[in-house]
Structure 1
Amino acid sequence: MSWDARQRAMLEAMGLKVWAATPPAAIEAEAEAEADVAVAAAPVAGPAPAITKAAALPAPPAAPMRPPAAPAAPIIPASSDERGRAIAAMDWEALRASVAGCRACGLCESRRNTVFGVGNERAHWMVVGEAPGENEDLQGEPFVGQAGKLLDSMLRALGLGRGEGPAEQQVYIANTLKCRPPRNRNPEPQELAQCEPYLDRQIALIQPRIILAMGRFAVQSLLRSSEPIGRLRGRVHEYQGVPLIVTYHPAYLLRNLADKARAWEDLCLARATLQARP
């Protein structure tokens, strides 16, 4: 029994037509001689449908799938007053889209990601930092890296977190600037002014019961004060009717360990202030 004969018998049992120069009589004789092979190779569910020449053609390539389009940023008027009113009327979705597409100052040219904010949008606590650093710019989230770990530890000491959970046990974290200044330089007044309406709207949407301002630029921007943190901490301030407590930025505390005790005092003051509110 030749290999060609065995192969032809198996193909014919599967319903495939064999094209060869061998005379039909010889093919029939070889097929009968190999009937046992043909029966063994036959499919259990019955003969397969004949494959036509058209069916053997390769299928055309599938059209590439397009990613879903990102929400378009709202059109904001050029004048500062009109811009502020437009932002003040935005809901969360529109506000996020506006921040993501913002080109109101030169920081948009060097950023990798905008840093909108993170946390429970109905949280009782709101933490406001200064400007995104390199890690924040890469991840698009405020307070990451070593400073973020220290902040999380400080919050856990108060029974708070930045994830999901009851509003009274969660915080919302945002920065005064939504884009990183190049080489982590200090924010410029014009940059702070352009981002201020975004932070104002976040506070209005969250309606926090206490604000914890961390770092010189966050404190001075919210309180409109040029006084150093050392003179402003230890007492209760207000921002748009919300009690505000001043404290040091976690990045500063990593370099000045002696001030960690003072920062803990500020956290305790914030907790006592919140508990005393009706």
Structure 2
Amino acid sequence: MTTAANDLHPEQLRSLLHFYADAGVEWLLEEEAVDRIAEFEAMRAARGASAQREAAPVQQAARQAPVRQEQPRAAAPAPMPPASMPNVAIPDSQAIAEAEFAASSARSLDELRTAMETFNGCNLKTSARCLVFAEGNAKPSVMVIGAMPNADDDRDGQPFSGRQGAMLDRMLTGIGLARDDLLITNIVPWRPPGNRPPSQREADICRPFIERQIALAEPNQLLVLGNFAARFLFRSNDTIHQLRGDWREIEISGRKVPAFATLHPQDLATAPISKRLAWQDLLAFRAGLRG
């Protein structure tokens, strides 16, 4: 069953367009669906028939032409080897080493932002609109860490903007925390195309930057949001449902920082029934805050 845009309520159409934008769709190419497979088969059949018609006169002439003695031909010169192309890709190990050097050289969050803006070792930077850097209190008691920017963040240049940001604000307000008092950031500072999960290589390249952010901000506690961020920071293969709800310690630059994982706002938007679990986590997180 097909539904035309004219049949949708404005709120439904707005939600649908938001869904397409979050999925990475940027252009509507056709007014109606096109069966590309059938179209391709028809084009291939037409090309085959045309080739047969063109070949028929040539084959007829070849059969009627007298046989001629072939003259020996001079040997063709050996082909020149193709010119070698320089490999412009940065090897993983080199990109990670460059990220570690750039991060360790920063003595403040402002210097770290500048270092990340000039860093070209991560391919995500080429497709993202902008760097989405940490925002909020530079010396916070609590640092909130998500996975990666989404389309709203990439457009606005701020972490947790748009609908996910509004939901995060409600989560924090419910336990008496205000965004301005916190430092909010993501593991990966550039939006992956189509909001796909970052690859292992991309995560490894970005690790020095997020760890340096934590070291420079010196938070008393970390609130970790979602499956990717929890696995990354806890260096675990468990799921967010196995990692959520408990305090753990991670070591950053020789300093142990208490960290607590819960569900990401996107998880709550996808499965609203999970809000009950997130609320339990937030209450436990609030009870364990210090400083």
For normalisation by structure 1, the TM-score amounts to 0.66
Query: Where do residues 1-278 of structure 1 align in structure 2 (5 Å cutoff)?
Result: 78=94, 80-81=96-97, 83-90=99-106, 91-163=108-180, 170-240=181-251, 241-275=256-290
Residues in 2 aligned to 1:88 and 1:267: alpha-carbon distance in whole angstroms: 33
Q: What SS is found at the alignment partner of 2:178? A: coil
Amino acid at match of 1:185: R
Residues in 1 aligned to 2:121 and 2:98: alpha-carbon distance in whole angstroms: 13
Residues in 1 aligned to 2:157 and 2:102: alpha-carbon distance in whole angstroms: 24
Amino acid at match of 2:111: A
Q: What SS is found at the alignment partner of 2:288? A: helix
Residues in 2 aligned to 1:135 and 1:86: alpha-carbon distance in whole angstroms: 27
Residues in 2 aligned to 1:219 and 1:230: alpha-carbon distance in whole angstroms: 10
Q: What SS is found at the alignment partner of 1:126? A: strand
Amino acid at match of 2:266: A
Identity in percent? 37
How much has 1:197 moved relative to structure 2? 0.8
Instruction: Please list every run of 5 or more consecutive structure 2 residues that lacks an aligned counterpart in the other structure.
Output: 1-92
Residues in 1 aligned to 2:248 and 2:105: alpha-carbon distance in whole angstroms: 26
Assess if the C-alpha contact under 8 Å between 2:99 and 2:205 holds in 1: no
Judging by fraction of residues, say which structure has more helix: 2
Assess if the C-alpha contact under 8 Å between 1:245 and 1:269 holds in 2: no
Aligned residues: 194
For normalisation by structure 2, the TM-score amounts to 0.64
Amino acid at match of 2:171: M
**1:138-191 CA deviation, whole Å, 9 max, x = no partner?**
11111111111000011111221222xxxxxx1111100000000111110111
Runs of 4 or more above 4 Å deviation: none
Residues in 2 aligned to 1:103 and 1:267: alpha-carbon distance in whole angstroms: 37
Residues in 2 aligned to 1:122 and 1:182: alpha-carbon distance in whole angstroms: 32
Residues in 2 aligned to 1:80 and 1:182: alpha-carbon distance in whole angstroms: 21
Amino acid at match of 1:181: P
Residues in 2 aligned to 1:220 and 1:210: alpha-carbon distance in whole angstroms: 17
Which residue of 1 is the match for residue 81 of structure 2? none
How much has 1:86 moved relative to structure 2? 4.0
Instruction: Please list every run of 5 or more consecutive structure 1 residues that lacks an aligned counterpart in the other structure.
Output: 1-76, 164-169
Residues in 2 aligned to 1:79 and 1:189: alpha-carbon distance in whole angstroms: 13
Q: What SS is found at the alignment partner of 1:243? A: strand
RMSD of equivalent CA atoms: 1.7
The higher radius of gyration belongs to 1
How much has 1:124 moved relative to structure 2? 0.4
Which residue of 1 is the match for residue 73 of structure 2? none
